[in-house]
Amino acid sequence: MSAHIPEVQSTEQLREKWMKPEVISGSEILLRSLLLEGVECVFGYPGGAVLYIYDALYGFTDFKHLLTRHEQGAIHAADGYARASGKVGVCIATSGPGATNTVTGIATAFMDSVPLVVITGNVVSSLIGTDAFQEADITGITMPITKHSYLVRNVEDLPRIIHEAFHIANTGRKGPVLIDIPKDVSANKTLFEPGQSIKLRGYNPTVVPNRLQLDKLAAAIQEAERPVIIAGGGVVYSGGHEELFEFVTRTEIPVTTTLLGLGAFPSGNELWMGMPGMHGTYTSNQAIQQADLLINIGARFDDRVTGKLNGFAPLAKIVHIDIDPAEIGKNVKADIPIVGDVKTVLEMLNPLVGRSNKADAWRTKVSQWKQDKPWKYIDSDTELKPQWVIELLNDTTSGEAIVTTDVGQHQMWAAQYYRFNQPRSWITSGGLGTMGFGFPAAIGAQMAYPERLVISINGDGGMQMCAQELAICAINNIPVKIVVINNQVLGMVRQWQELIYENRYSHIDLAGSPDFVKLAEAYGVKGLRASNKEDAKQVWQEALDTPGPVLVEFVVRKEENVYPMVTQGSTIDQMLMGDSE
């Protein structure tokens, strides 16, 4: 069996059913408003301040509510749902510690521009500011990591606020919006009038770019001899992957996709160079450093991409296309800034551009780099190498699974050795680098796509941060295939300590971790283990053939490092290539 989501009625049916002019409670208003926004699944954890909301949920079947085992699991699951589906993810938490347990997940979504609506309860309005039991100023705490936040003072405002929150979360540069609802507001009654029009003074994201800037870019492409495209997460979030493919087909400019941009351009295409930056390909990094035109489409020039800023792309004219004007020029000065939605920009740009013969020699050079310097590692017949495990996952799924990861070495190996051919198939915490993210995010992705194969790739460290969510996989028969790459150490920290801190291995030993197979079985999930290639092939196939959740532990070599690697303070062409060179 696969995960079950109740059949969702059409928006028209919902409006007819739920827009009746009735006097109802704030909690009922919340549920009706979520339905009218098209919500199919909510992730949450009840507590005293949201009991009226959960009382309204009693017997409620119009959307699915998934009870996680921790609020952090709930918000990461909502995040995974949003990234996989392109819809707004929703989670509910109670006041005080329940609300503060969502903070890491809010920051994760904020850094990666993921649309969430986070609903928290608060103490009754008359007690706000008195340090009442389980009171926390969650709107104040999260102000730097939300697009916007609301403290609802009057139940009459609730329909409007919910409608605005979804609009803000899912337009412009997407991100999390928090709605804090005091307990009395969720209990009070009023005549329900759904939110209709949106009138937000000062919030008008620029979607359509300046045509003159597009003309400048088209002219620059015709003159460029060494052009490069960096495609980021903005391509995925805007739904602009088809327009990007057309742009590349027209111009034949080599493409590198950032960590969050993986899947925005087909990995099998001859013009794809791989990922840039700290653990990027030799080809991508050399191409950026030698480019005379660098076209950034929906990426934010993160430090993991640029390396040493004053040595980044030193020969290039910089073009930066982004929905958020605050990103343009923030880290790297843009010679041609273009503010707008990526999909819209490319739709307008494509008729203006074509192939430049001046770049023929460049294309040949990039192709030769790809041939001479692919990602590679030294395989072993006696030890299980983590890169080989990722290749196994890729080969047995034809690169068609939705893959989520936690953070660390396994994340980089997955980014390097799994091949993504479509957007929203790769879900990882990029900007914040949140351990504990991968597994609950996979649950959210599986709820978005019950019939697709979802693989959660985790390290033995990160897996223990949200392992309790194994319970909801078992109870709800959510068929995520959970992979644990177990090297018995905090791998990326160990790698830095080896290469930068002169082998001073300080507090990284995870040898005391639980038996992951027994842990899975304790929760009612099938557990399997392999430490050699023959067993690995067998247990992974068994996992794929099992109709339900399975945890597979691959015991790998502790000393394996992620290469290439650019150390901090170096330019991205100063790469450590590892033992394979």
Q: Which of 40, 71, 469, 553 is catalytic?
A: 71
What's the order of all strands across the beta sheet hosting 148-151?
64-67, 41-44, 89-93, 116-122, 176-182, 148-151
> Is there a contact between 403 and 458 (Cβ–Cβ < 8 Å)?
no
134 annotated active-site:
yes
HEC secondary structure over 409-451: HHHHHHHHHCCCCCCCCEECCCCCCCCCCHHHHHHHHHHHCCC
CA distances from 291 to 168, 287, 303 (A): 37, 6, 19
Residue 137 — φ and ψ, nearest 5°?
A: -80, 75
Q: Which residue has the tokens 């160079």?
A: 273
The sign of the CA dihedral 273, 274, 280, 281 is negative
CA 581, chain centre distance (Å): 32
Assess whether the previous peptide bond of 564 is cis (omega < 30° from 0).
yes
133 annotated active-site:
yes
Q: Which residue has the tokens 């900007």?
A: 431
17 annotated active-site:
no
For the chain, state the CA radius of gyration.
24
> Is there a contact between 122 and 181 (Cβ–Cβ < 8 Å)?
yes
Q: Which residue has the tokens 């680098």?
A: 433
How many angstroms separate the CA atoms of 246 and 248, rounded?
5
492 annotated active-site:
yes
User: Any idea what the Cα angle at residue 157 is, between residues 123 and 81, rounded to 5°?
Assistant: 75
The number of residues in the chain equals 581
Give the number of other Cβ atoms within 10 Å of residue 580's Cβ: 12
Element (H, E) at 118: strand 116-122
Give the number of other Cβ atoms within 10 Å of residue 407's Cβ: 24
Q: Would you put residue 172 in left (φ > 0), alpha (ψ -120 to 50) or beta?
A: left
Q: Which of 133, 193, 225, 581 is catalytic?
A: 133
Q: Which of 492, 495, 516, 553 is catalytic?
A: 492
Which letter does DSSP use for residue 307 in this model? B
Helices (H), 57-95: 71-85
Q: Which of 147, 183, 373, 481 is catalytic?
A: 183
- Bridge partners, 41 (sequence order): 64
Report the SS3 class of residue 41. strand
> Is there a contact between 115 and 67 (Cβ–Cβ < 8 Å)?
no
Q: Which of 134, 422, 488, 497 is catalytic?
A: 134
Report the catalytic residues: 71, 133-134, 183, 492
